[in-house]
Structure 1
Amino acid sequence: MERKLSSLFRVAIFLISLAMFAVLSLPIWKIELSAPQYPEGLTLKIYADRIGGDVDIVNGLNHYIGMHTLHTRDFVEFTVLPYIIGGFAVLGLLVVLIGRRKVFYGWAFLFLLIAFTSMIDFYRWEYNYGHNLDPEAPIQVPGMAYQPPLIGFKQLLNFGAYSIPDSGGWTFVGVGIAIATLVILDWRGIRRKSRVSTVAAGLALMVFSGSLQGCSSSGPQPIQYGQDNCAFCKMTFTDRRFGGEVVTQKGKVFKFDDLHCLLGSLKAGVPARQDIGSIYLIDFVNGGWISTESALLLHSPGLHSPMGGDIAAFAGKETLDQQQYKGEIVSWKDLYH
């Protein structure tokens, strides 16, 4: 008689299916373009049902070198892929209900088939996109093709192109790892089945949690002290009491080791005011993040910040009162308006 899947195995498959539902609303892949004339860069985001990001700007650039313009309606994949992903997630729920090993293995093989076919189709699209050029294009470079990399970096004229998974893509990768782990655990047939099932359910929970994090908005990133450099002065971060980050509406993060550098970059238009999503400052007391809307700022020569801005951020009046530095309380609006 065929051994059925354990309860925790089913829980793992259920969480994997929920993660696949999340992929429907997350960007699966992104192609980032960097060039001197675009300091913030350009990004194409590929969802299950559409192309997003800086599509209009990229289409305008494509005109000059003879590449086809990008429109969601021109790709049958954006019609079919949501049904494939959603159908796979629904089948996962059926596997949970049926609970038979043979059905689970068929579902796992289907994932492998979907992943393999998707990568082949993506490569084919990139090849056609970069090679089928308009012979009447204003700019022509003999022998030059503009195929973006399948994954990784490639230089295309004065643009650097990065092709990497986005949050939905990493969720998809996590699902694949989770399914492979379930298959391996089941094959091994370890006697302590309760332990195996617990590992499987825990891994699936990590994948599902990761997909939920992908749905959340972008925020500040941890600073690697001794490694990261300030985006303005290029000095390495050393003092954990000072600094800040600007997060653009597209999620790009600019790191600064001093409020003096942060303000200098903003006043220079990097990033542009209309592109700013949020700004965070480092809490002088505990090193956490504070938004500029809620931060209390103290300007004091005794602070000795890295680049001489001598402005520290505090979470509230109670923490500011405990400090020994004498100075003037300033507002963010006074500094950047």
Structure 2
Amino acid sequence: MWCTPLCSWACWWPCSNKWLLAGWLGLLAVAGAVGLLDFYLWLREFGTNLDPAAPIKIPGMTYIPPFIGPKQLLNFHALSLPAMGSLGVAIPMALAGFAVYLDFFRKKRRILNSRQMAYMLGIGVTLACLPGCSVEPQPIAYGQAGCEHCKMTITDPRYGAEIVTTTGKAFFFDSIECMAAYLQEQEGMLEKAQLLLVTDFKNPQTLIDANTATYLQSEQLPSPMGLYLTALAEGGAAEELQATYAGRTLSWSEVLQAVRSHETAF
């Protein structure tokens, strides 16, 4: 993908000059520190300045999500961990720091010349960018991950859903209706989505293509957010389930329409 050679090129060119390399490393460190500070301040603002119409407010209590690690917020379990993209910063910084050390402090016993340092740094960034650029399904951490749309903890492994964008970023949802609503509410998300995945009801935690799945809407099979939508990998399985639980079968386009108009007709 285009991002891999671009990342490599961006980090190879400073390595022809040790001062340029040291300056690049310093700027990267400062930018990273500023980014982390900005993220922390945003979390604090998000968790302390609540909407006046917020349904749950306890005097004296803040709702600041964790900067890193787990945290319990009332009945919500929040977990914040570095994503794969952070390797794209950590690995080149480590390699650049090692290269600067060799060039500045080991002159008498120089192990690598500038060209070799450039190759070492470029290869490191290339390897770091590969996972960040890959577009593939990510496992849903049931009981820990939060729904991107309703913010509830995802707990039922029969109904989880997922969007993976063209850049490889994954968004998790606790139900089909939450994912469908998010797709239609977020501007440009339909175009950015590379993978739309839902869980096969008969095989919990197994993600399938939302576009090819068959959906059963039955009031006897309540889904987490109340639109009674259940996904199945095969049409025959949907018909079999329909014979037991009644309801109607839908395609993905019909699911989007049902969510848009909040249809619960069976």
Counterparts of 2:159 and 2:188, CA distance in 1:
20
Is 2:235 aligned against 1:333?
A: no
| 1:148 aligned residue | 31
Residue identity over aligned pairs, in percent, reads: 26
**Residue 164 (1) aligns with residue 86 (2):** yes
Equivalent of residue 221 in structure 2, options 300, 303, 306: 303
Does structure 2 conserve the Cα–Cα contact (< 8 Å) formed by 1:26 and 1:214? no
Which one-letter code corresponds to 2:86 in the other structure?
I
Q: Considering only aligned residues, what root-mean-square deviation do their CA atoms show, in Å?
A: 4.1
Secondary structure of the structure 2 residue equivalent to 1:333: helix
Do 2:3 and 2:133's aligned partners in 1 also have CA atoms closer than 8 Å? Answer: no
Query: Cα deviation per residue 1:150-186 (whole Å; 9 max; x = unaligned)?
Result: 69822179778x882139949x99xx9xxxxxxxxxx
The residue aligned with 1:123 is 25
Question: 2:196–2:209: 8 Å Cα contact kept in structure 1?
Answer: yes
Q: Deviations over 1:189-246 (max 9, x none)?
A: xxxxxxxxxxxxxxxxxxxxx9897387312211111111111111111211112111
Shift of 1:316: 0.9
CA contact (8 A) 2:216 2:229 kept: yes
Match of 2:208 in 1: 290
Relative contact order (alpha carbons < 8 A, sep ≥ 6): 1 or 2 greater? 1
**How many aligned residue pairs are there?**
182
SS, match of residue 302 in structure 1: coil
Matches within 5 A, 1:171-210: none
**Whole-Å separation in 2 of the counterparts to 1:157 and 1:306:** 32
Pair 294,167 (structure 1): closer, same or farther in 2 beyond 3 Å: farther
Aligned in 2, Cα 1:270/1:255: closer, same or farther, shift over 3 Å? farther
Measured after TM superposition, the shift of residue 80 of structure 1 is 6.6
Report the equivalent of 1:250: 167
CA gap of 1:150–1:121, structure 2 versus 1, over 3 A, is: farther
Structure 1 spans left out of the alignment, 5+ residues: 1-21, 28-45, 51-76, 84-113, 128-146, 177-209
Partners of 1:225 and 1:214 lie apart in 2 by 23
Unaligned 5+ runs, structure 2: 44-81, 99-126, 258-266
Shift of the alpha carbon at 1:260?
A: 1.6
Work out which of the two has the higher radius of gyration on C-alpha atoms and give 1 or 2.
1
The 2-side partners of 1:234 and 1:156 are apart by 19
For normalisation by structure 2, the TM-score amounts to 0.55
- Residue 8 of structure 2 is matched in structure 1 by 48
From 167, 172, 177, give the equivalent of 1:260.
177
Asked if the contact 1:225/1:237 (under 8 Å) is kept, the reply is yes
- Tell me the TM-score normalized by structure 1: 0.44
Separation of aligned partners in 1, 2:155 and 2:39: 36
Aligned-partner SS, 2:236: helix
1:313, distance to aligned residue in structure 2 (A): 1.0
Q: Say if 1:309 and 1:220 are closer, same or farther in 2 by CA, change over 3 A.
A: farther
In 2, Cα distance between equivalents of 1:281 and 1:311: 11
Aligned-partner residue type, residue 224 of structure 2: P
CA distance change for structure 1 residues 168 and 156 in 2, over 3 Å: closer, same or farther?
A: closer
CA distance in 1 between counterparts of 2:220 and 2:210 reads 22
